[in-house]
Each structure stands twice: as C-alpha cells, then as structure tokens.
Amino acid sequence: MVASIIKVKDLTKNYDETKAVRGISFTVKKGEVFSMVGPNGAGKTTTVEICEGIRKPTSGIIRLFGKEFSKRSKEIRERIGVLPQEYRSFERLTVKETLKYYSSFYKRKRNIDEIISLLDLEDKKDDLYMNLSGGLKQRVGVGMALVNDPELVFLDEPTTGLDPRARRGVWNAIMSLKEEGKTIFLTTHYMEEAEYLADRVAIVHKGRIVGQGSLRELISDHGGHYNVVMHGYDTSRIDILGEEASVDSEQNVSLPVNDPEEISQILSKVMQNGVKFESIEVRRANLEEVFMNLTGTTIEEGDAA
C-alpha cells in the first residue's frame, strides 16, 4: 500500500456568503504529482492553503503525514514547502541570498548550491531578483519551497502568465523534484500542464471536485475517445457530417468518434458529396474535452464566470 501524504475528507470553506469549497475529498499519495485543475475562483487556492495550515476550514478533516494539522502544526510545517500564488520576494536580494534568507526560518536545511543546481539557476545565482524574467522568478520560488528539504511541496499556479518557453523551464524544475521522489501538490488552470506533469488530476469547478483520477482514467471515463479534425473544410457543408460536428475558432471542423473505424465512413461521405478539405487529423481526447464534458464549459469560459 502506498502511504497517503495528504488525506482530505468533506472539506468545506465559507467566506461569509461565499461558499468557496463545497465538500471535497481526495488523497495525495507519496511520490506523486497531484494536480488540481480548474478556472479562477474554483477554490484551488483555498484548498491548498487549508492543506498548508494557513487558512482554517469551515468543516472537514485534513491530515498530513497521518496527523491533524491543528495538533502538530510546527512539526508539519518543517516537512512541507510552499510556493504561494503570485508570490513576490525581495527585489534587491540575489538568487542565492534569497534562498539563504528563507532557509534561515527552518531547522531542517538543504544545501543552497544543491537547490541552485537542481533548478538550473547556476548562471543566475548572483543576479538580483528584480532583474530576473518571470520564468526565472518562478524557478526561484520553487527553490524557496525547497530550502527545508520538504517531503511535500505545494505549488499554487506556478506558471500562470508565463510564455510557453518560460513555462517549460518551470516544468523542467518540477520534473526534477518529481524525479527526486518529492510529493507535489500542483494547482493550475493550464490543461497541458496537468497533462504533462500530473500522475493524478482532480478537476475542480465551483468548489467541488467533478472528476478525479489518472489522465487515462479521466479520458476513458469522461473524454469520449477520438476527435477527427478537418482543416480547410467548406463549413457550409457541415450538415453532411451529422449533428455532432462543430466548427472551432480557427474554422476547423471537428467531430468526435468512438472508434477509429468510423473515420473511413466519414471520409467516404465527404468524398461522395464532393466536399474538399486540406488536411485531416485524428487526436485522442485530452483533458480539455474531459473538462468540457464534466462542466459544460471551457476553462476560459469558467474564468469569466
């Protein structure tokens, strides 16, 4: 049996009238990357900060390392690392000074040079925080979460607002932690991030977990199977493909199919009707579709709500 590092049962949190978290349960197992995915306002930060012992739940049971936070808060804090959402650090400290400073709060310490090397920050270690790019700041933030050599690391939206290349750099840093066997609780509203990094995913929507499991489980349970996408298809002739066909924002026509054998039938229908297209692509369903099927919205629409 793999030990559970976090065990949350029936967690709720109200802020006056706002029901931010409405009864969620999950476990995080030793050595895995567990990711909560959901739009802004879904309740991710509230859940994470309750697990970190920073906020108090309205009701529910939270255990870390088999212990209740209220009883062992000091001991538990020594064993966890935290990267808060939209954190800032001291502008005029260098990377190395920053890590040294945060390290000074803990009894347990990890060698700072080792952290710098793990996160691929050697070239930047004497640079001032204020001169770093967004992606580098986030990597320093991951480093701050490692100064006490924690067994469990919380990363709350570590790549929000970064460009794809900077995001990759942060992903590499997280992969390095994963390879070291750290348990990681990651929140994100980027589906690709959870797909790339997470062993298990919980999809949160309006304070509830609407689906959880490995990517494979989620896709087979809630994703449908394949998507056929045709580029350059005459969208005025979409009717011949049936009701399930739709046009996306780039004017591609897409159509869900359960079985790859249906693809040849689709193609012959298109040819019989003399409709032309430039190219065709068959994709396995991804987390985006799982999210759509479970919530009836895209994650961006969820953000706006």
Ligand X SMILES: Nc1ncnc2c1ncn2[C@@H]1O[C@H](COP(=O)(O)OP(=O)(O)O)[C@@H](O)[C@H]1O
Number of residues that bind Mg ion (CB under 5 A): 3
DSSP 32: -
The identity of residue 47, as a single letter, is T
> Which residues, numbered 145-184, are part of the site for Mg ion (CB under 5 A)?
none
CB of 21 to Mg ion, least distance (A): 12
Residues forming a β-bridge with 115? none
Q: Where do we find the tokens 């976090």?
A: 6
- Residue 48: CB minimum distance to Mg ion, A: 8
Q: Which does 41 bind (CB under 5 to 8 A by kind): Mg ion, ligand X, none?
A: ligand X
Using only the alpha carbons of the chain, give its radius of gyration.
22
Which candidate, 159, 161, 153, 164, places its Cα nearest to that of 64? 153
What are the backbone dihedrals phi and psi of residue 263, each rounded to the nearest 5 degrees, phi first? -65, -40
> Which residue sits closest to Mg ion, CB atoms considered?
45
* Contact string (CB under 5 A) for Mg ion, positions 72-101, x = contact: -------------x----------------
State in angstroms the smallest separation of the CB of 40 from ligand X: 4
By beta-carbon proximity to ligand X, the closer residue of 149 and 157 is 157
Closest distance to Mg ion from the beta carbon of 61 (Å)? 22
Indicate the residue among 14 and 85 with the shorter CB distance to Mg ion: 85
Least distance from C-beta 85 to Mg ion, angstroms? 5
What residues have CB less than 8 Å from 72, skipping those under 6 apart?
A: none
Nearer to ligand X by Cβ, of 148 and 188: the residue is 188
Tokens 């090397």, located at residue: 117
Q: Which residues bind ligand X (CB under 6 A)?
A: 15, 18, 20, 38, 40-46
Determine if 138 is a binding residue for Mg ion (CB under 5 A). Answer: no
Question: Of 18 and 117, which has the nearer Cβ to ligand X?
Answer: 18
CA angle, 287 then 57 then 42, to 5°: 25
Q: Using the rule CB under 5 A, which residue among 45, 159, 252, 295 binds Mg ion?
A: 45
Of residues 93, 137, 139, 138, the one with CA closest to residue 116: 139
Alpha helices in 156-261 (DSSP H): 164-179, 191-197, 215-222
Residue 38 touches which of Mg ion, ligand X, none (Cβ within 5-8 Å per kind): ligand X
Q: Which does 20 bind (CB under 5 to 8 A by kind): ligand X, Mg ion, none?
A: ligand X
Strand-by-strand arrangement of the 183-188 sheet: 80-83, 152-156, 183-188, 33-37, 200-205, 208-213
Interface residues toward Mg ion, by CB under 5 A: 44-45, 85
